[in-house]
């Protein structure tokens, strides 16, 4: 079955440090991958998406993600984390010819001052 | 305008009440979604409407009844809910993906529902 896995439930980083959040997918065909962020009590905001082409994708708020087919991964990165980045991050997979979308379990990011 | 609005923000209802959640978007999107999200969990898809027709129902209990009166509005009618239905209910919209690649979904802020 098509799915995404986020191995890290909770990550803590210091403000100004670099960040990498992991996402692994299981999908037979070309995956359509998304990263969303959710602040407490809020809806989800799209950070970036990958459909095809360049495997390094730039998003909003200084985030980027790299698609690696050989590792079935789509990890999210940011070179320098700000306190306002503290939130829940969800990786998601979409499907061709279908409106369905499946989310990973999420990774909660805490930023230390 | 990339906003999805949801009303009310908070709702407390008893198990015998009938209430409705409302969602609105003006982005011209023809797919609209309802998700349920429990604390510290990812959103779970409940329903998808495509061109105002119900296209996906993820085996949701009949005490939840969706309605799409027009292409901009989506309602979720609630009746005889259980305390375990307490959650954040998120609405989303997107361009219709039925003919190819999926489009990103735009989410509203959600309705925090408490069933007493």
pLDDT digit string, tens, across residues B45-104:
999 999 999 988 889 999 999 999 999 999 999 999 999 999 999 999 998 866 677 888
Chain B residues in contact with A44 (beta carbon < 8 A): 43, 90, 92, 105, 107
pLDDT at B101: 77
User: Using CB atoms, which residue from A43, A49, A99 is nearest to B55?
Assistant: A99
pLDDT at B84: 96
Q: For residues B97 and A40, which has the higher predicted lDDT (pLDDT)?
A: A40
Chain A residues in contact with B109 (beta carbon < 8 A): 41-43
pLDDT at A83: 96
Range 17-76 of B in CB contact (< 8 A) with A: 31, 33, 40-43, 45, 48, 50, 55-56
Torsion angle, CA of B40/A109/A104/B96, rounded to 10 degrees? 100
Q: pLDDT over 70 for what percent of chain A?
A: 98
Are the beta carbons of B97 and A99 separated by less than 8 Å? yes
Are the beta carbons of A99 and B31 separated by less than 8 Å? yes
Per-residue pLDDT at A29 exceeds 80? no
Taking a C-beta distance cutoff of 8 angstroms, is the pair A47, A59 a contact?
Answer: yes
Distance CA A76, CA A59 (A): 10
pLDDT digit string, tens, across residues A69-83:
999 999 999 999 999
pLDDT digit string, tens, across residues B3-22:
999 999 999 999 989 999 99
Distance CA B64, CA A94 (A): 25
CA distance A79 to chain B (A): 25
Residue showing tokens 């279908």:
A98
Q: Is A2 exposed, middle or buried (0-12, 13-18, 19+ CB in 10 A)?
A: middle
Per-residue pLDDT at A51 exceeds 90? no
Distance CA A58, CA A80 (A): 15
pLDDT at A1: 66
Domain boundaries A3-112, corresponding CATH code = 2.60.40.10
User: Using CB atoms, which residue from B88, B99, B103 is nearest to A97?
Assistant: B99
């Amino acid at each position: 079955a098509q799915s995404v896995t986020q191995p890290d439930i909770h990550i803590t980083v210091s403000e100004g440090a670099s960040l990498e959040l992991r996402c692994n997918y299981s999908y037979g065909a070309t995956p359509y991958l998304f990263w969303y962020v959710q602040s407490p009590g809020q809806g989800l905001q799209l950070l970036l998406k990958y459909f095809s082409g360049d495997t390094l994708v730039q998003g909003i708020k200084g985030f980027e993600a790299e698609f690696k087919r050989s590792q079935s991964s789509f990890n999210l990165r940011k070179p320098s984390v700000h306190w306002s980045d503290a939130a829940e991050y969800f990786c998601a997979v979409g499907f061709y010819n279908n409106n369905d979308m499946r989310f990973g379990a999420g990774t909660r990011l805490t930023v230390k001052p | 305008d990339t906003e999805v609005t949801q009303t009310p923000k908070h709702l407390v209802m008893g198990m015998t009440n009938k209430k409705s959640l409302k969602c609105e978007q003006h982005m011209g999107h023809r797919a609209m979604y309802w998700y349920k999200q429990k604390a510290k969990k990812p959103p779970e898809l409940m329903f998808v409407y495509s061109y105002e027709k119900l296209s996906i129902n993820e085996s949701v209990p009949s005490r939840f009844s969706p309605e799409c009166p027009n292409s901009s509005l989506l309602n979720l009618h609630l009746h005889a809910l259980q305390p375990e239905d307490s959650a954040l209910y998120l609405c989303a919209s997107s361009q219709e993906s039925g003919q190819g690649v999926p489009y990103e979904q735009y989410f509203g802020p959600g309705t925090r529902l408490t069933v007493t």
